[in-house]
Chain A
Amino acid sequence: MKEKTYIEDVDRSIYDIRNDETGAYRLQEGLSQKIVERLSEEKRDPLWMRLFRLESLAIYHQMKTPDWGPSLEGLDMDHIATYVRPNTKMTAKWSEVPKEIKDTFERLGIPQAERKSLAGVGAQYDSELVYHHVRQEVEEQGVIYTDMESALRGEYADMVRKHFMKLVKPTDHKFAALHGAVWSGGSFVYVPAGVSVTIPLQSYFRFNAPGAGQFEHTLIILEEEADLHFIEGCSAPKYNIANLHAGCVELFVGKNARLRYSTIENWSKNMYNLNTKRAVVEEGGRMEWVSGSFGSHVSYLYPMTILKGKNARMEYTGITFAGEGQNLDTGAKVVHAAPKTSSYMNTRSISKDGGISTFRSAVVVHKEAKGSKSAVSCQSLMLDSESRSDTIPAMDIRTQEADIGHEARIGRISDDAVFYLMSRGISEEDARAMIVSGFADQVSKELPLEYALEMNRLIELEMKGSIG
């Protein structure tokens, strides 16, 4: 019988740095009105936000936990602290960030990336931003890139209030309601009309506290003909107890504007990642999602795009890599609500060592969306028979004047391809790793070089092993 390739566990030493919580402020575990009120006090919320939190909490208690996806049985809100504030204040100077936190971000390469290839960086540690900086020349263009709390109380307070949780309403689902009740941290970005930010902004979310939740809110508004690439990175050390990430991303893409939103998600494998992302795109606007999901114990992640204006476009490029103990339910949704809109989803998923990967998508074409086009392509690789890979796409088409295509493929690494590479002197292990890298190439080529390298490194680590 043919021997199988033995695949080692990923070397997560960079991501597994744990710092103690000395001096950090931590709300008691659980979820109650008292806790939410306390959180609101700590955050010095304006009155409307305090009321919004309490209303969201009431909705949370009314809604059911989803039962159609991966099991959430291991997630007990009574054992989750919804707010952990590190013992520091946000600063725009890297030198002022506490040494332990600074060391963690340096090992993750954040300041190096900022120097080399970013227009601005926000670094969140547990529930609060600890560093936020944007290049002067970008600021001079009128671009606002700040933490959500500053935006909520400052010059842009009205704009935040107008947009905050208007796209993702607390009534959407239980964890959107939870987010509305206990959100903390995240970034606010405003790009004025006609401004093109030529190098990306990045927010990095680092989760250090065990048994806690991170609920950052990202709000990005692009005015007419603005252009931005925003990168989101996240990681956490692994603990033996469940952590929860229920962030929320709301993106408003103006007329003829373009927003690229890239995510490399590498949460630890005790994380429940129940994030909600949504964009609305006006006439001629373009939304591009690039998503790499490598971490988490359980993920529910389906970025949604509403193509509201004529000729609006959406592209989603995603890869999901599910290994041992992971159940990653990912995909995308698009609503064509205006004429001549177009969408393209291109995804790859890889399952190994008992990992479960599910691709779930929805394409909805309204009656008004005449002349719209949509194409969905999803491919899945199974690296062993202990794993699972499911594709669950749905299409709801309500106009004849639409051109809708869908294709899906599930299979394993071709023996012929491995044989061909081995006949060229490449070892079986390297041949398989090359094939998997090639399979993921659709995604990595969409990322800036540094991030493509990080993604390829993650894949190599996942694939590293020996012939047993």
Chain B
Amino acid sequence: MPDALRIESDGAFSSAIPPLPDMNTGMGIRLDEKVASHPIRVAIPAGDQQKIKVAIRGEAEKRGGQLIEIRAGRESELTVIMELTGEGQGLMGVQTHLWLEEGAKVRLVQVQLMPSAYRVLQDIGAYCESNASLETIQLFLGGSDNYSGCYADLEGECSRWESDLVYLAQEHQRFDMNYVARHRGVRSQSQLRAKGILREHAEKCMRQTIEFVKGAAGAEGTEQEEVLMLSENTINRSIPLILCGEEAVQGNHGASIGRPDEELLFYMQSRGLDMEEIYQMLIRGRIEEICRRIQDPETEQKIWSFWEGGGENESVS
């Protein structure tokens, strides 16, 4: 199965590094066995700073799964930029396990630029020790049926997870997403932000869960979701959960779902823009917002190239 995926990386990945302990992921154990056969692993030494780019390409008419395990050593800083591309139709499953040791900082960027006939499964599991900080930045622009999940165990005191997700679902694309922050650590923090645009016949389901386990005193978690529905035939489902077994916590959720603000539309139309132009501006705005977080010109260029090319990747030999 791994042969179905082509992986290029400038990091020191190896299958010889000891595996990480089992961990929870957003999509659950059923994906584990599909991706576990040929894992690749990287371990960042304590105090080190690294930036790694991983390009995963799905072959046409193939099904492939890949497990990537990353251990960030104590006080290390790591940025991983993962690009998912492909050609034709097929199925790609990528599961990423992250172990953040004490004080480690990890930025995981995932940019999904798959062809419109490819089914994509993107799954993340993270375990955060004390003072560890995880930032996940995800942009989903392609694929047909998209399943994604992320589960962060905020085990250590003052551990932190910040998630920024932007997705564009159009035509008959389907997105099914499950994001879970499990607070066990004292004063742990989570921020789950999701911004999406639905067009044509797209369908999306977003589940966000913040769980405060007894003992996580001083923990704070926030879920925010914004969904712009730009067409009449879209379907939006949102299920934002807050589960609380500890008194001294603060959990918040806010969601806004619907079409763009009438006054904004009126203003833009009064400036001579038609609805399609306005919608394109809104989509570009969302992409620009996430590009600013990614902070990588090369990746940004690929995103715009994909978007302006109507959802097609540049071919690779």
**A398 in contact (CB, < 8 A):** yes
Contacts of B235 in A (CB 8 A): 396-398
User: 8 Å CB contacts to B: which residues of A406-454?
Assistant: 406-412
In the assembled complex, which residues on chain B have CB atoms less than 8 Å from the CB atom of A383? 247
Which chain A residues numbered 380 to 405 have a C-beta less than 8 Å away from chain B?
A: 380, 382-385, 387-405
Interface residues on A, range: 20 to 34
A135 at the interface (CB under 8 A from B): no
Q: Are A388 and B258 in contact (CB under 8 A)?
A: no
Is B313's CB within 8 Å of the partner chain A?
Answer: no
Let me know if B60 is at the binding interface, CB within 8 A.
no
User: How far is the CB of A179 from the nearest CB of chain B, in Å?
Assistant: 29
How long is the Cα–Cα vector from A398 to B232 in the complex, in angstroms? 8
Cβ–Cβ contact B252 & A409, under 8 A: yes
Which one of B198, B234, B241 contacts A391 once the chains associate, using CB atoms below 8 Å?
A: B241
* Given the contacts A391-B241, A400-B232, A406-B253, A382 and B258 also touching, CB distance less than 8 Å: no
- Report chain B residues within 8 Å CB of A411: 249-251
Interface members, chain B 124-158 (any A CB < 8 Å): none
Known: A367-B232, A408-B251, A411-B251. A400 touches B258 (CB 8 A): yes
Question: How many inter-chain residue pairs (CB < 8 Å) link A and B?
Answer: 115
Residue pair B243, A390 in contact (C-beta under 8 Å):
yes
Contact of A392 with B241 at beta-carbon distance under 8 Å, contacts A382-B247, A410-B249, A412-B247 already known: yes
Query: B257 near A407 (CB under 8 angstroms)?
Result: no
Interface string of B230-245 (1 = CB under 8 A from A): 1111111111111111
Query: Are B237 and A388 touching (Cβ within 8 A)?
Result: no
The residues of A that contact B250 with a CB separation of less than 8 Å are: 409-411
Within 8 A of A (CB), among B212-242: 212, 214-215, 217, 227, 229-242
The answer to whether A399 and B232 touch (CB under 8 A), given A394-B239, A406-B254, A411-B250, is yes
Q: Are B253 and A408 in contact (CB under 8 A)?
A: yes
By a CB distance below 8 angstroms, the chain B residues around A409 are: 250-253
Known: A382-B246, A394-B238. A405 touches B256 (CB 8 A): yes
In the bound assembly, the distance between CA atoms of A289 and B251 in angstroms comes to 26
Residue among B212, B214, B258 with the most chain A CB within 10 A?
B258
User: Which of B212, B217, B246, B258 contacts A403 (CB under 8 A)?
Assistant: B258
C-alpha gap A361/B295 in the complex (Å): 39
| Nearest CB in chain A: distance from B296 CB, A | 33
Chain B residues with Cβ below 8 Å from A396 are: 235-237
Q: Is B259 positioned at the interface, with any CB of A under 8 Å from its CB?
A: yes
Q: Does B36 touch A at the CB level, under 8 Å?
A: no
Query: How far is it, in angstroms, between the C-alpha of A140 and the C-alpha of B247 when the chains are bound?
Result: 54
Interface mask (B252-281 → A, CB under 8 Å = 1, otherwise 0): 111111110000000000000000000000
Q: How far is the CA of A409 from the CA of B240 in the complex (A)?
A: 12
Interface residue total, chain B, C-beta cutoff 8 A = 37
Q: Chain B 272-295, CB within 8 Å of chain A: the 1/0 string?
A: 000000000000000000000000
Known contacts being A382-B247, A384-B247, A385-B248, is A410 close to B242, with CB within 8 Å? yes
- A390 near B242 with CB under 8 A, answer yes
**Is the beta-carbon distance between A380 and B239 smaller than 8 angstroms?**
no
Q: How far is the CB of A465 from chain B (nearest CB, A)?
A: 16
Are A400 and B239 within 8 A (Cβ)? no
- A404 and B259 form a contact (CB under 8 A): no
Q: Given A380-B244, A388-B244 in contact, is the A395-B255 Cβ separation under 8 Å?
A: yes
A401-B257 in contact (CB<8A): no
State A150–B242 Cα separation when bound (angstroms): 47
Within 8 A of B (CB), among A27-73: none
A400 and B246: CB pair below 8 A? no
- Chain A residues with CB under 8 A of B243: 388, 390
Cross-chain contact B248 with A412 (CB below 8 angstroms): yes
- Chain A, Cβ-Cβ closest to B207: A394
Q: In the complex, are the beta carbons of B257 and A395 less than 8 A apart?
A: yes
A410 nearest in chain B by CB position:
B251
- Cβ distance A398 to chain B, nearest Cβ, rounded Å: 5
Write the nearest CB–CB distance from B220 to chain A, whole angstroms. 9
- The distance in angstroms between the C-alpha atoms of A389 and B252, with both chains bound, is 13
Q: Bound state CA distance, A132 and B69, in angstroms?
A: 71
Residues of A within 8 Å of B253, CB to CB, are 391, 406-409
Residue of A nearest to B205 (CB): A396
The answer to whether A400 touches B231, judged by C-beta atoms less than 8 angstroms apart, is: yes
A167 CB to nearest chain B CB (Å): 25
CA distance A393 to B242 in the complex (A): 9
Residues in B whose Cβ lies below 8 Å from that of A395: 236-239, 255, 257
Complexed CA–CA distance, A396 and B229 (Å):
12
Q: Nearest residue in A to B237 (C-beta to C-beta)?
A: A396
Question: Chain B residues near A410 (CB, 8 Å)?
Answer: 212, 242, 244, 249-252
Which of B198, B230, B246, B254 is close to A407, meaning CB atoms less than 8 Å apart? Answer: B254
Q: B240 touching A406 by the CB < 8 A rule?
A: yes
| Residues of chain A within 8 A of B232, CB atoms compared | 367, 399-401
How many Å from the CB of A375 to the closest CB on chain B? 10
Q: Please, how many angstroms separate the alpha-carbon atoms of A389 and B214 in the complex?
A: 11
Chain B residue with Cβ nearest A399: B232
Other-chain residue from B230, B233, B246, B255 in contact with A385 (beta carbon distance below 8 A): B246
In the bound complex, residues from chain A placing their C-beta under 8 Å from that of B256 are 404-405
Query: What are the residues of chain A within 8 A of B198 when measuring CB–CB?
Result: 400
A402 near B257 (CB under 8 angstroms)?
A: yes
Give the 5 A-B residue pairs with the shortest CB-CB distance, closest first. A400-B229, A404-B257, A410-B251, A408-B253, A406-B255
* Contact surface of A with B, Cβ cutoff 8 Å: 367, 380, 382-385, 387-412
9 A-B pairs with CB atoms under 8 Å apart are A382-B247, A385-B215, A394-B239, A400-B229, A400-B234, A402-B257, A402-B259, A407-B252, A407-B255
Query: Which residues of chain B have a CB within 8 Å of any CB of chain A?
Result: 198, 212, 214-215, 217, 227, 229-259
Beyond A382-B249, A393-B240, A400-B229, list 15 extra A-B contacts (CB 8 Å): A385-B217, A388-B244, A390-B243, A390-B244, A393-B241, A394-B239, A395-B237, A400-B232, A404-B257, A404-B258, A406-B238, A407-B255, A409-B251, A411-B249, A412-B249
